[in-house]
Amino acid sequence: MKVDFTRWLPAIAKDSYRKTALSVVGVAALGGLALAPTAAAAPVTSGPHQGAVAAIDLATGKTAASARQKDQPVESGLTTGSATGKPPAGKPSRDELIPHGIEGAQSRIPLDDAQLANARAIVDAAKKTGVGDRGAVIGVATSLQESKLYNLGHLGAYNDHDSQGLFQQRPSSGWGTPEQVTDPEYAATAFFSALRNIGGWQDLPLTTAAQTVQVSAFPYAYAQWEEQAADIVQQLW
């Protein structure tokens, strides 16, 4: 797992629309985030730092300046969802998505088109691999923690070894080639295949299931994304 501020940094954002290298200036603008004493612990409730927003816009080609000028969140049509009440027809319920309850303080970020497309790829892979909506929540939450749902290429000096893609999977650990782990469908399928090999994964708390697959240096960090991941899955299912 990388230094926290690099999680905002799609230095090589690999999607179907654009592959753009982040400039040195963009990296410098983000450098201050690594020094913030609460960067890793504080819930993200208001979106990324303005320097990070500019860097993300550059890397993904997003043009959301007008929305920010009007103080409108960029959510790509995704609404917050409700912790109570009846789910929309054909959608999984809150109890199905979060069967063990929320663990600890929750973080939340706005989503742009690239992030939403990657979330869809994860949900689609969850359906194809048979892990269902609960598996999808685990997958989306894991990617929110690992890459903020950006399909990251190699970050050079900021890389955790050779970790890449939505789940920061390492080719040297057997996850696949760099080209494979930066393919959202392949990466999500590989994650869910590993998840299915964990006996009783459906009965585990999200952070335990995710950590068993990811073997992260910060095993409890996944829990903070469970609520937003459930909202995303409910609306994309």
pLDDT at 80 over 80: no
pLDDT-wise least confident of 59-68, 119-128, 188-197: 59-68
Q: What's the confidence (pLDDT) of residue 147?
A: 96
Sorting pLDDT into bands at 50, 70 and 90, what band is 158?
low
The stretch 31-58 carries a mean pLDDT of 37
Name the residue range of residue 55's domain. Answer: 4-236
> Please, which pLDDT band fits residue 183 given cuts at 50, 70 and 90?
very high
The total number of structural domains in the chain stands at 1
Residue 151's nearest CA partner among 162, 167, 166, 171 is 166
- DSSP, collapsed to helix, strand or coil, labels residue 219 as coil
pLDDT confidence tier of residue 157, bands split at 50, 70 and 90: low
